[in-house]
Structure 1
Amino acid sequence: MNRKNLNRLARLVIIGIILCIALTFVKLPFYITQPGGATELQPLIQVEGGDKEAGSFSLMTVQVGPANPLTFLWAKIRPYHEIMPEANFKQEGETDDEYMKRQLQMMNSSQQSAIIAAYEKAGKDVKTTFNGVFASQIVSGMPAAGKIEVGDKIISIDGKSFTSSEELIRYVGNKKNGDTIKLTVERDNKKREIEMKLQAFKEDPKRVGMGVGLMTDQKVEVNPEINVKIEHIGGPSAGLMMTLEIYNQLTEGDETKGYHIAGTGTMDPKGNVGAIGGIKQKVVGADDAGNEIFFAPVDGGNYDDALVAAKDIKTKMKIVPVKTLDDALNYLNKLKPKST
């Protein structure tokens, strides 16, 4: 190849590199999800005087990121990489920061439910007290947009305080379109007064509101003490696995029986397991991490989808269906300890 052709090839390569870099800054209205990792919970959850375990309980994550033209094309040819509309993740008008705050709020609520369920199942002391109503999302085009932020704590409305999000919703729901309310809100440990006119919802003109998704927060007091250090992981899907880890530390014996156990599913304070998203990708991630057992919620078709993924990747990992905390514990109680 002569010098002229080499120079031409070099220019084409440079142009291609610049084009590829430029395309990474082009944001498409889609998100790419793919299998994430397995995170062992024992190092992150410490119950005072808690038992150790020979195996492990792990929560599962799904990697999520905004799509650009390059990642979009890559996802098209990669197994268990899914392209999903941005609306599946973010509310209309919701910023990236608001989305992350909402996810972290859901994780915090999930931790509370896991602690309550585990302590009550183990017969240990647990006390809950109301700790406020928090904004979990803001609806674009409604009165709260630009006035309330995700994470704000609503102290009172018209001087009236509330003991649950449901109670607050009922109060506002009894107002009329155009009525003015005065809110006391706490943000960054500072209180502020906000006034707004209520508005009818487009999808339900007979119903008025602020356009705020709400979440009831609780203060949970337990004995023995517990320390949970799970940061930068959002959403409620780790509820079941956190509950199992806490329960295992609270009680005698080792529920893992020496096995590496992963799984997913929401958890409510009464011990019910709920459906989650990304179950197939979590099965793939759990298998990649070397887990031997995977708990999958029955609800929402999660278990059926988990079986499909397990068969597809030819995993030896046992997929176990669960509807409640008791389902998982009953399975573990019948499990023979792993031979060493």
Structure 2
Amino acid sequence: MEKRIRILNVLLVFGIILVLLVFIPLPYYVTKPGLAEPLRPYVKVEGANKDKGEFMMTTVSMSKANIYSYIGTLVNSDHHLYKTDEIMVKGESNEDYQFRQLRYMEESKQAAIINAYKQAGKHYQVTKNGIIIVSIIKGMPAFDALKLGDVITKINKREVDSAKEFTTILSSAKAGTRFNLQINRNGKTKNVSIKTKPFQNEPNRAGLGVSIVENIKLSTNPKVKINSEEIGGPSAGLMFALEIYDQLEKESLAKGHEIAGTGTIDNKGMVGPIGGISQKIVAASKSGAEIFFAPYENGKKDSNYNEAVKSARAHHLKIKVIPINSYHQAIAYLEKLK
């Protein structure tokens, strides 16, 4: 009887340890190859015809690390480990992080629409209305004065709707410079007075401690709707732009091919780098993609393109990696496809 009790106690302790290994979080995040999904179900252009072939966006799966997933990164080269401060802004909660990523996705979709409609010669109109705060650094002046989602409409009584303009005004100010901001919070106008402060990791540079995106509204003809659900981040911008253009044009742009890729896109069509490309190309290949667009970064040695090529070789993937600097380069490549 005593022997049975000892065995049960040992099993109970062992079970508790296993539970703790699963549920005790570590100060890390683990990423691994996510999905490569066709974009047509997400993008609907009014009156679009169904074409052969597909454009696909790629994702990376990310989760809080525990002991098991931490060990997994040591034995699986497709699983990567990141410190929390490499993912999150100081003082940022999981909800704050998700808000920021969804706003980046929204900005990315707007840039994709602008580029596609411009390329197709279709009508679109942009209405600007200030800039939106998407993250705030703990310990900086904005942390106690501003909130995520606040829309800054004026700075020192001067209307502002350009992120570049706002950043330029702040970057030229010394520490301790006071700025009067007019903001819109939940539909109500509010005035906030705030001083700049040196950044902890950059003592020679002062600011408020916010990240921003432009608050714009788009109207198009024909109408377009992008339902990205809860997918966050700006990395699908290039592929959204290609899918929208494909639906706007009568001729098929994919021409029967399975085409995946990644990269941010701005309103001028420039394609920028993203994180996790070595994992995204694995996801694309598993989903049957033949071609993969990767940001070339004007030939940088450690560009996304070079990282994607290295990953494709290491995994013996039968996928063609194409270097892309701009949206127009991607269109030109596709127009020459057989």
Q: Normalized against structure 2, the TM-score is what?
A: 0.90
- Distance change >3 Å, CA 309–CA 204, structure 1 → 2: closer
Query: For the residues of structure 1 that align with 2:59 and 2:132, how far apart are their CA atoms?
Result: 25
Structure 2 match to 1:334: 336
Deviation at 1:8, TM superposition (A): 4.2
Deviation at 1:63, TM superposition (A): 0.7
Given candidates 321, 325, 330, the residue that maps to 1:319 is 321
Query: For the residues of structure 1 that align with 2:6 and 2:252, how far apart are their CA atoms?
Result: 67
Any idea what the Cα deviations from partners look like across 1:220-271, whole Å, max 9, x if unmatched? 2221111111121111110111011000001111112122211111112222
Structure 2 match to 1:162: 160
Query: For the residues of structure 2 that align with 1:9 and 1:22, how far apart are their CA atoms?
Result: 20
Query: For the residues of structure 1 that align with 2:101 and 2:244, how far apart are their CA atoms?
Result: 22
- Distance change >3 Å, CA 176–CA 322, structure 1 → 2: closer
Q: Which amino acid aligns with 2:78?
A: Y
Structure 2 match to 1:78: 76
What is the count of residue pairs matched by the alignment? 334
Query: For the residues of structure 2 that align with 1:157 and 1:117, how far apart are their CA atoms?
Result: 30
CA contact (8 A) 1:121 1:247 kept: yes
- Structure 1 unaligned segments of length 5 or more: list them: none
Q: Secondary structure at the match of 1:319?
A: strand
Q: Secondary structure at the match of 1:43?
A: coil
Deviation at 1:81, TM superposition (A): 0.1
Question: CA RMSD of the aligned region, Å?
Answer: 2.2
- Distance change >3 Å, CA 162–CA 45, structure 1 → 2: same
Alignment of 1:33-182 (within 5 A): 33-173=31-171, 177-182=175-180
Q: Which moved more, 1:273-282 or 1:179-188?
A: 179-188
Query: For the residues of structure 2 that align with 1:32 and 1:230, how far apart are their CA atoms?
Result: 23
CA contact (8 A) 1:175 1:208 kept: yes
- Distance change >3 Å, CA 324–CA 167, structure 1 → 2: closer
Q: Secondary structure at the match of 1:72?
A: helix
Query: For the residues of structure 2 that align with 1:119 and 1:47, how far apart are their CA atoms?
Result: 11
Alignment of 1:294-313 (within 5 A): 294-299=292-297, 300-313=302-315
- Distance change >3 Å, CA 250–CA 171, structure 1 → 2: same
Query: For the residues of structure 2 that align with 1:171 and 1:268, how far apart are their CA atoms?
Result: 21
Given candidates 3, 13, 16, the residue that maps to 1:18 is 16
- Structure 2 unaligned segments of length 5 or more: list them: none
CA contact (8 A) 1:144 1:196 kept: yes
CA contact (8 A) 1:57 1:261 kept: yes
Structure 2 match to 1:248: 246
CA contact (8 A) 1:51 1:254 kept: no
Q: Which amino acid aligns with 2:118?
A: E
Alignment of 1:209-220 (within 5 A): 209-220=207-218
Query: For the residues of structure 1 that align with 2:255 and 2:3, how far apart are their CA atoms?
Result: 66
- Distance change >3 Å, CA 331–CA 9, structure 1 → 2: farther
Structure 2 match to 1:27: 25
Q: Which amino acid aligns with 1:291?
A: A
- Distance change >3 Å, CA 52–CA 158, structure 1 → 2: same
Structure 2 match to 1:270: 268
Query: For the residues of structure 1 that align with 2:117 and 2:76, how far apart are their CA atoms?
Result: 42
- Distance change >3 Å, CA 82–CA 167, structure 1 → 2: same
CA contact (8 A) 1:75 1:82 kept: yes
Given candidates 176, 179, 182, the residue that maps to 1:184 is 182
Any idea what the Cα deviations from partners look like across 1:255-302, whole Å, max 9, x if unmatched? 121222111111122222211111110011111212222111212521
Q: Which amino acid aligns with 1:314?
A: H
CA contact (8 A) 1:27 1:66 kept: yes
Query: For the residues of structure 2 that align with 1:271 and 1:181, how far apart are their CA atoms?
Result: 33
Structure 2 match to 1:234: 232
Query: For the residues of structure 1 that align with 2:187 and 2:229, how far apart are their CA atoms?
Result: 21
Q: Normalized against structure 1, the TM-score is what?
A: 0.90
Q: Secondary structure at the match of 1:115?
A: helix
Structure 1 match to 2:194: 196
- Distance change >3 Å, CA 7–CA 286, structure 1 → 2: farther
Q: Which amino acid aligns with 1:187?
A: R
- Distance change >3 Å, CA 200–CA 318, structure 1 → 2: closer
Q: Which moved more, 1:222-231 or 1:289-298?
A: 289-298
